[in-house]
Amino acid sequence: MKQDNAMTTPFVDQYDGLKPALPGHALPWMTALRDRALDSFAEAGLPTQRRESWKYTNLRGLKQLELTEQALTPQPISIDRAPSLLPDGSAYRVVFVNGGFRSDLSDLAGLPEGVTLGSVAELAESQPQRVEALLAAHRDTNDQPLVALNTAFMRDGLLLQLEAGRKLDKTLEVIHVNSAENGVFAHNARNLISLATGSEATILEHHIGLNGAAYYINAANDVTLAEGATLRHYRIQAEGENAVHTSTMNGQLAGGSFYDGFTLSIGAGLSRNETSMKLTAAGARCHLNGGYLMRDKQHCDTTTVVDHLSPQTSCREVFKGVLDDRSRGVFQGRIVVHPQAQQTDGHQLNKVLLLTDTAEINAKPELEIYADDVKCSHGCSAGEVDHDALFYLRSRGLSEDSAKALLIQAFLAESVSEISDEALHDVFLNKISDWLAI
Amino acid sequence: MAATVETVDQVRALADDKYKYGFVTDIEADTAPKGLDESTVRFISAKKEEPEWLLEWRLKAYRQWLTMPEPEWAKVDFPPIDYQDAYYFSAPKTTEAPKSLDEVDPELLRTYEKLGIPLREQEMLAGVAVDAVFDSVSVATTFRHKLAEKGVIFCSISEAIKDYPDLVKKYLGSVVPYGDNKHACLNSAVFTDGSFVYIPKGVRCPMELSTYFRINAANTGQFERTLIIADEGSYVSYLEGCTAPMRDENQLHAAVVELIVLDDAEIKYSTVQNWYPGDENGVGGIYNFVTKRGACRGKNSKISWTQVETGSAVTWKYPSCILQGDNSVGEFYSIAITNNMQQADTGTKMIHLGKNTTSRIIAKGISAGKSQSTYRGLVRMGAKAKGARNYTQCDSLLIGDKCGAHTVPYIESRNSSAQIEHEATTSKISEDQLFYCRQRGIGEEDAVALVVNGFCREVLQQLPMEFAVEAQKLVGISLEGSVG
């Protein structure tokens, strides 16, 4: 594959210089892991549009960020309070500022037994075996150059591990605050989540950009759910308007486990949220839902790949997008049913509202099916706000703007209603209302 | 063979020296040697006494072809093609033609019988060396007179190049440029025959046109080129192919079809493709790489593609519509049946450029045996396609647990007033429906054929009547051996 060297070399060139300062440098396995990942990244290159899975998203914008050695070493900024979405005391809180863990802003009081929660960088020092085992759970990065990039340069992130049967009694709020007020920076966040048999947790993840300056976040998330484990994982991506945010999640779901995901994207100049889920045993369920609200020249890419590797697994996806001004949305959803995966249930829905003639949607819902006893479907639609509904509301005295906003809100509410933790619906609905300014 | 090589060398020498002055040689030999190089292209062009602009066009295509990589994005898998191991002009017969039907493979005859094909036609299809005068020729002659009365031009593309050079020059390559893709590029360089149709203004073609009835159409070759022009307010329905399995010695088929539709005109293009699919183990079989595209150039114009794809080892085919004129309509109805080791990657492109353009895609894929069938399509709404609409439905049916069915639609919209709806489902053949049929004494294979015919009904209905009846039978025959 032909690669764009101008985008790949800044990272490759600075690796040797940065290596000694990266977390876990003293650990030979960690260094070996990083070296391998860098080779793999250098070989594949930063993805370009020649790569089919990147057909509609272009990372050229990264060229404009001057990613010097200093930029690849994010500097902390001073804040004294994290912008939380949940009332104090109602949730555990983990805060990262420009990628670094801030224990002073976090709240981990009263964690139950059998729960390991904290910073990957810190735990790599204090419990290296644990981090090594978690990182080893997902090795296959051949087709994901951004994960390889992340592995080579990863600094910090969330580590959550639950022992068998443990339940996180309160929602875990993870806040990533980013600001390039001290200059452009790039951060590779690595989040490791592993839930043992029958354990259960709810995470509300919030990415916030504090000012308009450009920066680059490349996150990689490794999620492992053992038999019967449940993870509710809800995310709000509200990075700064000039930020580039790429996030790749690799999940492995064992028998009877349930992953319930929802991602609301409203921020970043360019964002890509890629999710790859492997359903490895009977009864594994996966919900990948979300919404994206874009305006100005924002670009938002949602890519999902669900691999059904075992009989009797199911997935469900509902994504809703609203595109205003000159924004662009991309939705690529792929459901793969492998030969042995009989009795698979896979459904996917992607609906988009285009508010202007300059907005653009590119969608590619894909079914790849090698087993016959399956029920799979996808639906995709794009269009504008329904004229009849608009007329109905106008005839009741609503202004055009508020009628439109109301209809958009209702449109998005359908995907929000997919969130299985109903207590969190309001958090998302409020964010949507803020965006719509109603 | 030595004489042939000599001739070709002579032609090459002449072509290099003198062809640019419009010198045309009369070549005695009927065949070009195996392999493909510039001299093959010159040979074909000289042989067909083509004007210089066309030779130049072919050469440009050939040179570009050399630089183009093989398209590898389709979900099909086959060994690389050795382009030098093929004949590009009048390939000599490698085996003796059978002298009578007694010598023809009984399997083939059995299929003909099931399709209800008359004996004479069976002989023709099986390639039996019969006298050139058979019924369909006289039928064809009668048809020609009738068409001429209306001013409809229906002839081979070679004749058209000689007799209607202006029309050919104006439209050839205007929808599928020579450099469009590797296979179309090869076709542009070495096409040997095909059909040309021109329907004059306001004429409704009095009959369905079919390659089957065109004189000399029996051996159109592997690089077929079809050009159909429907002038303002005209209408034509064109049928291509035939339900009976065709004997063919060429493995690689790379055809190009171009349709041009002007204001208020309509072309309905129906295809039944049943080339040899190879045996149960995937040995042999035709590679069918076809580029079909129509341009709705005028206002209120319409193109409707209907295809029944049951044959070929590998099918790579995306009949498309470019909806340029305001209010133009594009339709694509498709049935793709794969069995044994067949692979089909087929679909359509609907490019909406004009205002209020509409398109409709109904694709039914049926996979059985160890085959793989893929729907791959694109719906694009341009920024100026105000009020454009698309509806797409792709359904896949799986018979047996070793086959695959895939759906890869691309949907691109740059217009808020454009509406796109896409739905796709995949499921296996319903046990309940089969049980119901079995219970009423219908044999297992007939039951499958019945259920599948029901599944495809929406598309079968679009076919012209005589095709539809045969196609229904074909659906059943293609799936033989897939159950039980």
CA atoms of A22 and A38, how far apart (whole Å) = 13
Touching check for A369 and chain B: CB below 8 Å? Answer: yes
Give the minimum alpha-carbon distance from B389 to chain A in angstroms, rounded to a whole number: 9
Whether A108 and A237 map to the same domain: the answer is yes
CA atoms of B192 and B194, how far apart (whole Å) = 7
Q: Are B288 and B272 in contact (CB under 8 A)?
A: no
Mean pLDDT of A82-102: 92
Tokens 């209603």 found at: A417
Tokens of B132: 């050139």
pLDDT at B137: 41
Residue A340 domain flag: no
Give the minimum alpha-carbon distance from A381 to chain B in angstroms, rounded to a whole number: 4
Touching check for A18 and chain B: CB below 8 Å? Answer: no
pLDDT-above-90 percentage for chain B: 44
pLDDT digits (tens, 9 = 90+) for B111-140: 666 666 666 566 655 554 433 333 344 455
Mean pLDDT of B356-377: 94
Mean pLDDT of B316-323: 95
- CB-based contact A366 B383, cutoff 8 Å: no
Q: In this structure, what are the phi and psi dihedrals at residue A384, rounded to the nearest 5 degrees?
A: -105, 180
pLDDT at A321: 95
Of A348-352, B220-224, B375-379, the least confident: B220-224
pLDDT confidence band for A257 (50 / 70 / 90): very high
pLDDT at B272: 85
pLDDT at B27: 39
pLDDT digits (tens, 9 = 90+) for B9-56: 554 444 343 323 333 333 344 566 777 888 889 988 888 888 999 999
Smallest Cβ distance to B422: which of A357, A358, A381?
A381
Residue A34 domain flag: yes
Whether A272 and A398 map to the same domain: the answer is no
pLDDT at B446: 87
Residue A312 domain flag: no
CA atoms of B58 and A378, how far apart (whole Å) = 43
- CB-based contact B407 A364, cutoff 8 Å: no
- A281, A313, A338 — which closes off a domain? A281
pLDDT at B120: 59
pLDDT at B245: 59
pLDDT at B389: 95
Q: In this structure, what are the phi and psi dihedrals at residue B16, rounded to the nearest 5 degrees?
A: -60, -40
Whether A277 and A407 map to the same domain: the answer is no
Residue A295 domain flag: no
Whether A122 and A252 map to the same domain: the answer is yes
CA-atom Rg of chain A in angstroms: 21
Whether A90 and A214 map to the same domain: the answer is yes
Tell me the residue type at A103. Answer: S
Smallest Cβ distance to A383: which of B409, B419, B424?
B419
pLDDT at B374: 94
User: A343, A367, A373, A390: which to substitute to probe chain B, counting the most B Cβ within 10 Å?
Assistant: A367
- Domain of A411 in residue numbering reads as 394-438
CA atoms of A27 and A12, how far apart (whole Å) = 21
Smallest Cβ distance to A359: which of B404, B406, B416?
B416
Torsion of CA A93, A97, A99, A103, to 10 degrees: -50
Of A314-323, B86-95, B350-359, B454-463, the least confident: B86-95
Whether A104 and A231 map to the same domain: the answer is yes
- A228, A259, A281 — which closes off a domain? A281
pLDDT at B53: 93
Total structural domains within chain A: 2
B407: chain A residues, CB-CB within 8 Å: 365-367, 378
pLDDT confidence band for B93 (50 / 70 / 90): very low
pLDDT over 70 at A332, yes or no: yes
Residue A378 domain flag: no
pLDDT at B248: 56
CA atoms of B285 and B300, how far apart (whole Å) = 41
Whether A70 and A194 map to the same domain: the answer is yes
Q: Give the HSE-up count for residue B422: Cα atoms under 13 Å, Cβ half-sphere.
A: 32
Mean pLDDT of A246-268: 96
pLDDT-above-70 percentage for chain B: 77
pLDDT over 90 at B449, yes or no: no
HEC profile for A152-179?
Answer: HHCCECEEEEECCCCECCCEEEEEEEEC
Mean pLDDT of B131-153: 63
- CB-based contact A357 B414, cutoff 8 Å: yes
pLDDT at B431: 86
Q: Are B365 and B397 in contact (CB under 8 A)?
A: yes
Of A141-155, A284-298, B233-247, B307-321, the least confident: B233-247
pLDDT digits (tens, 9 = 90+) for A31-69: 999 999 999 999 988 998 988 899 999 998 888 787 777
Q: How far out from the chain centre does Cα A323 lie? A: 19
Residue A293 domain flag: no
pLDDT at A3: 53
pLDDT confidence band for A430 (50 / 70 / 90): very high
Give the minimum alpha-carbon distance from B125 to chain A in angstroms, rounded to a whole number: 36
Residue A292 domain flag: no
pLDDT at A7: 76
Mean pLDDT of A81-106: 91
pLDDT digits (tens, 9 = 90+) for B238-252: 988 765 555 555 678
Smallest Cβ distance to A376: which of B386, B415, B426?
B426
pTM: 0.85
HEC profile for B311-324?
Answer: CCCEEEECCEEEEC
Give the minimum alpha-carbon distance from A437 to chain B in angstroms, rounded to a whole number: 21
Residues in Cβ contact with B206 at an 8 Å cutoff, skipping those fewer than 6 apart = B146, B147, B150, B152
HEC profile for chain A?
Answer: CCCCHHHHHHHHHHHHHHHHHCCCCCCHHHHHHHHHHHHHHHHHCCCCCCCHHHCCCCHHHHHHCCCCCCCCCCCCCCCCCCCCCCCCCCEEEEEEECCEECCCCCECCCCCCCEEEEEHHHHHHHCHHHHHHHHHCCCCCCCCHHHHHHHHHCCECEEEEECCCCECCCEEEEEEEECCCCCCCEEEEEEEEEECCCCEEEEEEEEEECCCCCCEEEEEEEEEECCCCEEEEEEEEECCCCCEEEEEEEEEECCCCEEEEEEEECCCCEEEEEEEEEECCCCCEEEEEEEEEECCCCEEEEEEEEEECCCCCEEEEEEEEEECCCCEEEEEEEEEECCCCCCEEEEEEEEEEECCCCCEEEEEEEEEECCCCEEEEEEEEEECCCHHHHHHHHHCCCCHHHHHHHHHHHHHHHHHCCCCCHHHHHHHHHHHHHHHCC
pLDDT at B80: 84
Touching check for B423 and chain A: CB below 8 Å? Answer: yes
- CB-based contact B424 A377, cutoff 8 Å: yes
pLDDT over 50 at A2, yes or no: no
Give the minimum alpha-carbon distance from A213 to chain B in angstroms, rounded to a whole number: 29
Residue B350 bridge partners (DSSP): B321, B379
Q: From the CB of residue A401, how many other CB atoms can be counted at a distance below 10 Å?
A: 11
A377: chain B residues, CB-CB within 8 Å: 423-426
What number of C-beta contacts closer than 8 Å exist between A and B?
120
pLDDT at B278: 79
**CA A229 vs CA A91, A171, A310, A331, A344: distances in Å:** 20, 16, 17, 28, 20
pLDDT confidence band for B97 (50 / 70 / 90): low
Mean pLDDT of A168-187: 92
Mean pLDDT of A328-345: 94
Pairing of strands A115-119, A158-162: antiparallel
Across chain B, mean pLDDT equals: 81
Whether A198 and A71 map to the same domain: the answer is yes
pLDDT at B109: 67
pLDDT at A143: 82
- A84-88 CB contacts, 8 Å cutoff, 24+ apart: A84/A173, A84/A175, A85/A173, A85/A204, A85/A206, A85/A236, A85/A427, A86/A171, A86/A173, A86/A204, A86/A427
- CB-based contact A367 B424, cutoff 8 Å: yes
pLDDT digits (tens, 9 = 90+) for A358-405: 999 999 999 999 998 888 899 999 999 989 999 999 999 999 999 999
Tokens 């050009």 found at: B227
Whether A398 and A277 map to the same domain: the answer is no
Residues 41-80 of B with CB under 8 A from A: 73
- A281, A311, A334 — which closes off a domain? A281
Residue A150 domain flag: yes
- CB-based contact B420 A381, cutoff 8 Å: yes
pLDDT digits (tens, 9 = 90+) for A261-282: 999 999 999 999 999 999 999 9
pLDDT at A313: 96
B422: chain A residues, CB-CB within 8 Å: 363, 365, 378-381
